Amino acid sequence: MYLLAGILALIAVASNAYHELQAHDGSLMVTVINLIAIGGLCMPAWRAVRERRKYRRQREAAVARARESDTSLQTLLEQLPCSVVALDPSFTVRRVNRQVEKMTGFSAAEVLGRKCYAFFGSGRICDNCPVERALATGEVQQNVKQERTAAGQELFIEQTAIPMVGKGGEIRHVLEIVFDATRKVTLERENRDVFVQTVGALASLIDSRDTATGRHSVAVRDIALRIGRQLGLSPEVIEEISIAALLHDIGKIGVAEAILNKPGRLTEEEYAVIRRHPEIGYNTLAVVKPLAKIAGYILSHHERFDGTGYPHGQKGEEIPLVARILCVADVYEAITADRVYRPAISVPEAVRIMHAGRGTMFDPAVLDAFFADLGRSNGEAADAIASLAALPGEKPGSGRGDAAH
């Protein structure tokens, strides 16, 4: 439009200049003035044309570069051996590679432009969703979960959500990289089954060596698990408590039966042998990689909260939490069960003795959790716990040097 206006103006002014030339016998001055007027009118139009052409060339070049970059990115994504899904902050799928269809059975046409949880989940954002966490934190997040394909096949997937940040610091989209972890999870479960069977075999070994100790370990496990749940610990820690409790006295396989089952008071030498069982247990299990952490708990289960326990005199939170839980469960079960060297102590008396060790032998928080659980299931214990404030202080223990060895 600017070009047409300029041409029309040029024609009009040129025509005017021609007539003036005839009338004034070719006056050069008048003609020059009119030509200047022509230039002043046309130049803006020509500049506009040049600018529009320049802008169009730049835009076309940018589009071409973007298309080339987009094609390169998609080519790269298609070569990856895993599923890749690009999602915007509203969880809408913006890009996928062909591995997504191979893994899930959903084609690109089915998923693009839709919410990821509409077909990959249950119609809502998944629990522990790594994409949601990546959007909230701006950091890479991971997760493993069970998923169902379009054909209904169950598989385990390992997700890594990577937030992609724009120039202004905003998260423009999240790149979710997904691996099929079914074989890995299946193998881990098989290994876990073997591990559990191994623990069971070791517990049976303890039982065959000393039936009382075997029964004691099972009872300690049940008490320790209730304490762990009362404290609200994670399933992973609860599992560690279960295994550690079953094996906490495995070191006693290195102690002579004559000492373990001696009906009378132990000599100092015999008690010194008994005190070695946490270290024997640790040395036995620490070389087994899946049990190495459990071995540390077993090593510390006779440590006392005030630092007077054994074998290393650990104090307070230097003692692992699982070991502090085992200490409470171990002592309670030991003093409320019949032993060859003494009859069982009553529940109210056991509560009184253990309360006297609050903050010295026992972690106060762990002991309080134990009492809270015990009071709900045992009426005698509930009455004893309710009257604790009126009881005089008393340290736990027995004539053998330690209530549970």
The pLDDT value recorded for residue 167 is 80
The pLDDT value recorded for residue 201 is 79
Whether the link from the prior residue into 311 is cis, omega within 30° of 0, is yes
Separation between Cα atoms, residue 302 and residue 250, nearest integer Å: 13
105 close to 87: Cβ distance less than 8 angstroms: no
Q: What is the pLDDT along the chain (405 residues), one digit of tens a residue?
A: 444 444 444 444 444 444 444 444 544 444 444 444 445 555 555 566 666 676 666 666 555 554 544 555 555 556 667 888 889 999 999 988 888 888 888 888 888 999 988 877 677 888 889 999 999 999 999 998 888 888 888 888 899 999 988 888 899 989 898 888 888 888 888 887 787 787 777 777 766 666 565 678 889 999 999 999 999 999 999 999 999 999 999 998 888 888 888 888 889 999 999 999 999 999 989 988 888 999 999 999 999 999 999 999 999 999 999 999 999 999 999 999 887 777 899 999 999 999 999 999 999 999 999 999 999 988 888 888 888 755 555 433 333 434 555
> Could you tell me how far CA 87 lies from the centroid of its own chain?
21
The pLDDT value recorded for residue 262 is 84
The pLDDT value recorded for residue 365 is 96
Written as one string, the DSSP assignment of 1-62 is -HHHHHHHHHHHHHHHHHHHHHHTTS-HHHHHHHHHHHHHHHHHHHHHHHHHHHHHHHHHHH
3-state secondary structure of 155: strand
The pLDDT value recorded for residue 13 is 44
299 token code pair: 């090593």
- Over the range 387-398, which residues count as b (16 or more CB within 10 Å of their CB) and which as e? eeeeeeeeebeb
**Whole-angstrom Cα Rg for the chain:** 40
**21: which residues sit within 8 A by CB, 6+ positions away?**
27, 30, 31
Neighbours of 90 (CB within 10 A): 8
Specify the fold of 186-390. Hypothetical protein af1432 (1.10.3210)
Name the amino acid, one letter, at 314: Q
The pLDDT value recorded for residue 209 is 63
Separation between Cα atoms, residue 298 and residue 300, nearest integer Å: 5
Written as one string, the DSSP assignment of 99-148 is HHHHHHS--HHHHTTSBGGGTSSSSSPPTT-HHHHHHHHSS-EEEEEEEE
The pLDDT value recorded for residue 288 is 84
Separation between Cα atoms, residue 241 and residue 223, nearest integer Å: 10
**233: which residues sit within 8 A by CB, 6+ positions away?**
241, 321
Residues 261-268: contacts with CB within 8 Å, 24+ apart? Answer: 261/210, 261/212, 261/340, 262/340, 262/341, 263/340, 263/341, 264/341, 265/341, 265/399, 265/400, 266/400, 266/401
Percent helix, strand and coil across the chain, each to the nearest 5: 60, 10, 30
The pLDDT value recorded for residue 28 is 46
Query: Domain 80-180 classified CATH 3.40.50.10540?
Result: no
297 token code pair: 């708990």
Question: Phi/psi of residue 267, each to 5°?
Answer: -75, 170
The pLDDT value recorded for residue 108 is 86
Put residue 248 in one of left, alpha, beta given phi > 0 → left and psi -120 to 50 → alpha. alpha
The pLDDT value recorded for residue 79 is 66
Put residue 113 in one of left, alpha, beta given phi > 0 → left and psi -120 to 50 → alpha. left
Sole residue written with tokens 């010194």: 272
Name the burial class of residue 4, with classes exposed (0-12), middle (13-18) and buried (19+) by CB atoms within 10 angstroms of its CB: exposed
Q: Global pTM? A: 0.58
Cα angle 125, 131, 135; round to 5? 110
